[in-house]
Structure 1
Amino acid sequence: MTQPFTTGPQPSEPLGGAAITQQADSDNNNDAEQELALASQWKLVWWGFKRHRLALVCGFITLFIYLVAVFAPFLAPYSSSFHNSDYTYAPPQVPSLFDDGSLSPHVNGYGYEQDPETLALTFTVDEDQTVPIGFFVKGEEYELFGFIPWDRHLIGPKDYDGEPMYLLGADSNGRDLLSRIIHGTTISMSIGLVGVLFSLLLGVVLGGISGYFGGKVDNAIQRLIEFIIAIPTIPLWMALFAAVPAGWSPIQRYFALTVVISLVGWVGMAREVRGKFFAVRGDDYVTAAIADGASQPRVMFRHMLPSFTSHIIANLSLSIPTIILAETALSFIGLGLQTPTVSWGVLLQEAQNIRAVSTAPWILIPGLAVVFTVLSMNFFGDGLRDAADPYKN
């Protein structure tokens, strides 16, 4: 008997499996496209930022640095004012984990060696003397977050009244450089945040007014911005901060320095905001808000500004390193913060003495903290800016 002639593919297991796989892939693609279409602006920024691996790592590093700034009194072995004049320019101590085969974190103590010609004393490592290191040790009292009294430190010598511990060496007054760098993180990083908030306020308000109204208002604000940009930055900062009375307290000088830096730093933000306002002021939702009777401030800051908030935040993350560098530069040349306030710029003031640098090169370590922080925040800001750019693939 002749078999009936049939056309088309015969059902088979491999073909059926491939069809199911293709159907699943198609469904997944449709779900992904639907999720992408319905995603909020912030979710799109987060997805784009996650693809930037270096920026993601630097974002965690930046978060860690701010945590150090918040918990500085607990993390630092000593207070910023602790000193021992017997250990002027003491070199860094190398910690060891084991002692006679047993786990016992410690550093070796200091010995002295005298040059027979110059009679100068230099520090040496005393192998017979050890300074035990502990965690959550009892030390100087402080107030965590400014109001919680405590006396525990994450790391430090077990015997607080015994031989000191200088993991990164000591300065000209025998003060622990590691502790002072940690305490300086609080001031330097907070100036970056406070300064950028002042710049944000001035930049958004003046840039928004310039971009929204245009015409003579825009022309006047842009000429002001160009005038400020034309003045060399360092001399302008020096002139503004020279007007600060010398008798002001450290807190007053802190806020004065922040205001001085912000008076120059807002111009870049203002131009960014102006351009964004120009770009969206003719959009349908802006026209609808105006037709609905919304006031001009409401149209500007309730409808237009939120449309590019992520872009502003990305630019703010790039402005913080600039303010940190400005504080460091002003404090380094003696026009910024002064002792007893501790910042990275104040710590670098000792590096002006070439002889001191040649004798104790570890006093340059605060400069490495500045470089590391600025690089991390710049990479983080670049990734955030790229993620917030709607035209970037």
Structure 2
Amino acid sequence: MKEITRVDPARNAELEALEPLPSHYVDTSPFDPGEAERLTPEQERYFQASQWRIIWWRFRRHKLALISAIVLVFFYLCVPFAEPIAPYDPNTRDSHFLYAPPQPIHLFHEGSFVGPFVYAMTSEVDLETLQWVYKADTSTPHRLRFLCLGEEYTFWGLVKSRFHLVCPPKGSTMFLLGTDRLGRDVLSGLVHGARISLTVGLVGVAISIILGMFFGGIAGYLGGIVDSLIMRLIEILRSLPELPLWMALSAALPVTWSPLWIYFGITIILGLLDWPGLARAVRSKLLSLREEDYARAAVLMGAPPGRIIRRHLLPGFSSHIIASATLSIPTMILGETALSFLNLGLQRPAISWGVLLNEAQNITVVTIYPWLMAPVIPIIIVVLAFNFLGDGLRDAADPYKS
């Protein structure tokens, strides 16, 4: 006798939503308990798929989250390759181009196609307004150089090199986003600033996940007095206002520390203050999972609590932890930006998007030189991308969402 399996049309609808099925695979007839039919190959593939594969199928349906993931990959590619991507060193000063406006890229000169080029700028001081005045010399185009040798740098502080993706034209400048009050290129600062602003969220979330899973796992599994003590600690930490606490702890960092140690100090501060939310989520989930049959079976077999939490309980909702952590990264990026903007975080020669925004504290300067607000654009894009990505992961990891 052939083996047969009943198939519910409602299940077929969920399968078609996750992975489109050919019409001849889907059973649309009314379900009759007395009837049964064999599973199709597509249905068997779904029922045999792992949890992570099903999450991936659901995540692909969230187009906005998928686009956000691509945008974040593009931004994070700038982290290891900031030196060759940036045309200048972010701390290099040019006294002849203070507050220089952005130089637009042109393709045509006097009706003829030349390729990507810029016009050279001449500068002079207006003695009446005491401001720099820049004029473009449109007589001669200066073509940009690609995959070229430019300003020397030390790649990751280890290897000296001069290779750049784009170099300024010989005999001209290339300030595509303008310069600041000391003549430093804003675009190069944005590229180098991504290294700190983007990684501070990842490192801080790693610390938060470790602490949140540790304390939340202990509170949820052991319960009793341990649960009460940890929950009271979490409530105290969550009752404190975040920004003033960040400011107080950042101001307590020694001023003699190097920029690298300041970076690690701020990262640890952000991670230590963000774990209570994740710990509460882990605790509530473990309170329900510890009563499941597989958890009780592990206890009866003599498994220690640490192994039960680590090998049996936490993997059951690891996808939810990843989604929650993704939504926490924008908070840490904004926290570092706010601290650096208020001169309580990183400072030059360290570069972050918050350090660059420190140049735009004066509203008069922003009104006259609006390109100093350029770091706001990548901050908004990254924060929105992480939020959309977190929403997509959360929906994909929800077992009750079709």
TM-score, length basis structure 1: 0.90
Which position in structure 1 is the counterpart of 2:19? none
Which position in structure 2 is the counterpart of 1:15? none
Q: Distance in 1 between matches of 2:367 and 2:23?
A: 70
Structure 1 position 105 matched with structure 2 position 129: no
The 1:22/1:243 distance shift into structure 2, 3 A limit, reads closer
Which position in structure 1 is the counterpart of 2:326? 317
Q: Percent identity?
A: 47
The 1:83/1:22 distance shift into structure 2, 3 A limit, reads closer
**CA shift at 1:149, angstroms?**
3.5
Partner of residue 391 from structure 1, selected from 354, 379, 400: 400
Contact 1:166 1:178 in 2 (8 A): yes
Q: Distance in 2 between matches of 1:278 and 1:140?
A: 59
Structure 1 position 303 matched with structure 2 position 312: yes
User: 2:147 is paired with a residue of what secondary structure?
Assistant: strand
The 1:115/1:175 distance shift into structure 2, 3 A limit, reads closer
Contact 1:97 1:104 in 2 (8 A): yes
- Amino acid of the residue matched to residue 307 of structure 2? R
The 1:334/1:24 distance shift into structure 2, 3 A limit, reads closer
Structure 1 position 72 matched with structure 2 position 66: no
The 1:255/1:24 distance shift into structure 2, 3 A limit, reads closer
**CA shift at 1:158, angstroms?**
3.6
1:78-227 matches, cutoff 5 A: 78-99=88-109, 101-112=112-123, 115=126, 117-118=128-129, 120-159=131-170, 162-227=171-236
Which position in structure 1 is the counterpart of 2:251? 242
- Amino acid of the residue matched to residue 314 of structure 1? A
- Amino acid of the residue matched to residue 302 of structure 2? G
1:365-384 deviation per Cα after TM superposition (whole angstroms, max 9, x unaligned) = 10111111100111011101
**CA shift at 1:260, angstroms?**
0.9
- Amino acid of the residue matched to residue 42 of structure 2? A
Contact 1:318 1:378 in 2 (8 A): yes
Query: Rg: which structure is higher?
Result: 1
Contact 1:314 1:384 in 2 (8 A): yes
Contact 1:257 1:336 in 2 (8 A): yes
**CA shift at 1:34, angstroms?**
1.9
- Amino acid of the residue matched to residue 53 of structure 2? K
Unmatched tracts of structure 2, length 5 or more: 1-21, 28-36
**CA shift at 1:28, angstroms?**
10
Partner of residue 343 from structure 2, selected from 313, 318, 334: 334
Q: Distance in 1 between matches of 2:219 and 2:254?
A: 34
1:350-369 deviation per Cα after TM superposition (whole angstroms, max 9, x unaligned) = 11112211221100010111
**CA shift at 1:128, angstroms?**
2.2
Contact 2:343 2:358 in 1 (8 A): yes
Size of the aligned set, in residue pairs, is 371
User: 1:244 is paired with a residue of what secondary structure?
Assistant: coil
User: 2:103 is paired with a residue of what secondary structure?
Assistant: coil
Partner of residue 228 from structure 1, selected from 222, 237, 241: 237
Contact 1:138 1:158 in 2 (8 A): no
More helix, by proportion = 1
1:15-41 deviation per Cα after TM superposition (whole angstroms, max 9, x unaligned) = xxxxxx986555997323222211111
Contact 2:119 2:138 in 1 (8 A): yes
Contact 1:81 1:175 in 2 (8 A): yes
Contact 1:137 1:157 in 2 (8 A): no
User: 2:345 is paired with a residue of what secondary structure?
Assistant: coil
- Amino acid of the residue matched to residue 136 of structure 1? L
Structure 1 position 255 matched with structure 2 position 283: no
User: RMSD of aligned C-alpha atoms?
Assistant: 1.9
**CA shift at 1:142, angstroms?**
2.7
User: 2:116 is paired with a residue of what secondary structure?
Assistant: strand
> In terms of mean alpha carbon deviation, does 114-123 or 58-67 score higher?
114-123
The 1:43/1:102 distance shift into structure 2, 3 A limit, reads same
Which position in structure 2 is the counterpart of 1:54? 64
**CA shift at 1:265, angstroms?**
0.7
User: 2:351 is paired with a residue of what secondary structure?
Assistant: coil
Contact 2:118 2:141 in 1 (8 A): yes
The runs of 4+ residues in structure 1 deviating greater than 4 Å are: 21-29, 113-117
Contact 2:25 2:40 in 1 (8 A): no
Which position in structure 2 is the counterpart of 1:31? 41
**CA shift at 1:114, angstroms?**
5.8
The 1:259/1:93 distance shift into structure 2, 3 A limit, reads same
Q: Distance in 2 between matches of 1:355 and 1:132?
A: 34
1:324-360 deviation per Cα after TM superposition (whole angstroms, max 9, x unaligned) = 0000011111111111100000000011112211221
Q: Distance in 1 between matches of 2:68 and 2:139?
A: 42
User: 1:223 is paired with a residue of what secondary structure?
Assistant: helix
1:178-234 deviation per Cα after TM superposition (whole angstroms, max 9, x unaligned) = 010000001101101111111111111001111111111111111111111111111
1:301-340 deviation per Cα after TM superposition (whole angstroms, max 9, x unaligned) = 1111111111111111111111000000111111111111
Q: Distance in 1 between matches of 2:280 and 2:229?
A: 13
Q: Distance in 2 between matches of 1:309 and 1:323?
A: 21
- Amino acid of the residue matched to residue 54 of structure 1? L
